[in-house]
A and B are shown apart, each in its own frame.
Chain A
C-alpha cells in the first residue's frame, strides 16, 4: 500500500508541533538557531532537522500576508535520489517512504545534486557522516502508526493515508471550497508525482513550495542517456573494428605494392 501525506496549508497555524515531534521520534539533536526576518526556526533544514515550518511574509496589494509551509521530503513516486545513488542505498519502499540505508551509503552526495527539492542533508560536521532526510517515519508506518508529524498536528493540517485517497480528498476539498483553495494539488504532477502533497488557500508563490519544479519524473533525465549506452558502445565497436579491417587491408595492399607480397 502506497501511503502519503496531504498537507492542507489553510489549516496550518504554524505551531511547529510537527517539527518537535519529528525531532523527538527520530531522536535528532537540537541545533543552535538564529532568528531571521521571518519566524522560520531553524532557518534551514539540516541533517538534524528534517522538517520545518517555513514562514513567508509577503506584501500583497498593501496587505501583509504570512504563510506557513511545512517542508521536508516529498517522497517522490520516482525519486531522483534513488535513481542516482551509486550504492543503491536509497529506496522507494512499498509503503511510500523513500529511505536511506546508512550502511550502504558511501557519501558521494549525488542525491543532494539530484533532488529537485534539495531534501537530502549531510552530516558535514561528522568525521563519519550519514545522509539524512525525512523517512516518512517508515518504522511507525510498518507498526500501523501515522508519521510523528501527522500524529501530532493539532489542527489536522497534516493528513496521513493512502495516496490515492488523499489525492481524491484534496480534489474534493478544492471543489467543495468554492474558491477557498487554489485549484492545484501540489505533488500530483510535480517531479512526476510525489507521495506528500499540498493544497493551499494562497497562491503557491506566496508559500515556500518550489513552483519551478519539473512535472517530469526526474530519473528520466539521466535514463535517456543511460539507455543509449549499449547503442553507443555497439557503434564504437563497429567503428573500431571496421577501421581495423580497413587498416589491415591497406597495410597488406601497400606491402604488395612494394613487391614484397603478403607478409
Chain B
C-alpha cells in the first residue's frame, strides 16, 4: 500500500507530487471505516427506497437526525476553522497558532464537505442539492443564505488548506505560487470569518420561524446570536479536544500554553450566553419553567450544567493549564453546543409539532457512520500531509505511526 522510496526519483514527471499511502490502518481506524461503510450502505438504501421507508421522517416531523445532527450540529463542529484562523491571522502573537490552525482548517474542511454530502441524502431530491447555487433561490430564506455561505466558505477552506499540498511539491513555480497565496491569505481568512458569522447565526435563525411555538425553555428572541456565540465557543473548545486526541494519537506536542490562553475567552462567551438565555427567559416571564417537573426540564438542566456551568468552571480555573483540564473543558463545551442544537431541533419542537418520530436503524447508522468517516478522513489527511502536525524537520523520517489505538 505505501509507496517506496524508489518512486521519489520519478516524481518530477507527475503533475501532483503526493505520497498517497502514508496512511496506516490500525484496529481503531478499521472500526471507524467499517462504520463509514455501513453509512454508505444506508445512503444507497435511502436512494433506492426514498426518505419514508429509510428514515423515521413523516409529515409530523419534517426534520430528523439527518438535518438536526448532520447539518445543524456538524456545521458548528467545523467552526474550528474560522475561529482558529481568526486567532492565527488577526490577534497579537497569532503566528504561534500556525500549526493548531492547520489542524483546525483541515478539520473544518472535512466537516463542511461531509455536511454537504450528508445534506444531499437528507433532501428529498439529492441531485438538486446544488440547485440553490446554480439556479438561485430565495434571498429571504435563512437556508438559502446558509447554502451560499457554506459553498463560498468551502472555496476559502480550499485556499486555507492547499499550502499543505503545495509544500509537498518540488517545482519552484508551485512554491512561488504558494508564497503569493500566503501574502493574500489574510484576505481569504477575513472572508471566511465574515461568511462564518453569517451562516453560524443563520443556523439559529432557521428555528426562529417557529416563533413561540418553541418550548419556553429554549425560546430565545435572538436564537441566531446564541447559535453564533456557542459556535465560536465550540471553535475553541473542540480544538482543545482535537489537539488532545491528535497529540496523544500521534505522540506530538500538546500546546497547553496556547490553548490555555484561549480558554477564558470560551468560558467568557459561554457565561455571557448563559446569562443572556436566563435573562431572556426572565423577560418572557418563563423563568419558573426551569422548576416545572417535565422531561424537557431535566434535559434543560443537563444541558446547562454540563454544557455551560461545568466548562465555565473548568476553563476559568487553574485546570486550564493542564492537558486534562483543557480536553475535558473543551469536550464539555462541544457537548453543550450539541445539546443545545438537539434540544432546539427535537425537544423544544416535538410537542409543538405533535411529532411522532423514531429514527430508523439506517438513519442512525448513516449519521454515526458518516461522523466516524470524518475522523478517518482527518487521520488520512494528517498522515498524508505531515506538515499539518508541525515543522517537517521536527518530525521522524519514518512515516507516522499511529500509536494511540
Which residues in A have some Cβ–Cβ distance to B below 8 Å? 44, 46-47, 80, 82-88, 104-110, 112-114, 116, 118, 121-122, 124-131, 212, 214, 216, 218-219, 221-226, 229, 232-233, 236-237, 240-241, 243-244, 246-247, 250-251
Contact = CB atoms under 8 A, between A and B. Distances in A.
Contacts of A244: 89-90, 186
B209 A222 contact: yes
Contacts of A114: 209-210
A121 B92 CA distance: 53
B140 A214 contact: no
Contact of B141 (A84, A107, A127, A129): A84
A44 B201 contact: no
Nearest to A102: B125
Contacts of A241: 190
Given A86-B138, A88-B138, A125 B145 contact: no
A110 B143 CA distance: 8
A109 B62 contact: yes
25 contacts: A83-B140, A84-B209, A86-B137, A87-B135, A106-B124, A106-B128, A107-B128, A108-B123, A108-B124, A116-B213, A118-B353, A124-B51, A124-B59, A127-B47, A127-B50, A129-B51, A221-B210, A221-B211, A222-B140, A229-B202, A236-B197, A241-B190, A246-B92, A247-B94, A251-B92
A224 B142 CA distance: 11
B257 interface: no
Question: Which of the listed residues B92, B129, B193, B209 has the most CB atoms from chain A within 10 Å of its own CB?
Answer: B209
Contacts of B349: 113
Interface of B: 47-53, 57-60, 62-63, 67, 86, 89-94, 122-125, 128-129, 131-132, 135-138, 140-145, 147, 186, 190, 193-194, 197-198, 201-202, 204-213, 222-224, 349, 353-354
Contacts of A86: 132, 137-138, 141, 143-144, 147
Contacts, number: 184
Nearest to B191: A237
A225 B60 CA distance: 26
Nearest to A91: B138
**Closest CB pairs A-B (n = 8):** A107-B124, A124-B52, A112-B62, A109-B62, A88-B138, A106-B128, A86-B143, A127-B50
B208 A121 contact: no
A101 to B, nearest CB: 11
B132 A87 contact: yes
A126 B52 CA distance: 7
Contacts of A85: 137-138, 141
A44, A125, A225, A240: most-surrounded residue (chain B CB, <10 A): A225
A86 B147 CA distance: 9
B138 A127 contact: no
Given A84-B140, A104-B135, A236-B193, 5 more contacts: A87-B128, A87-B144, A218-B211, A221-B208, A236-B194
B145 A80 contact: no
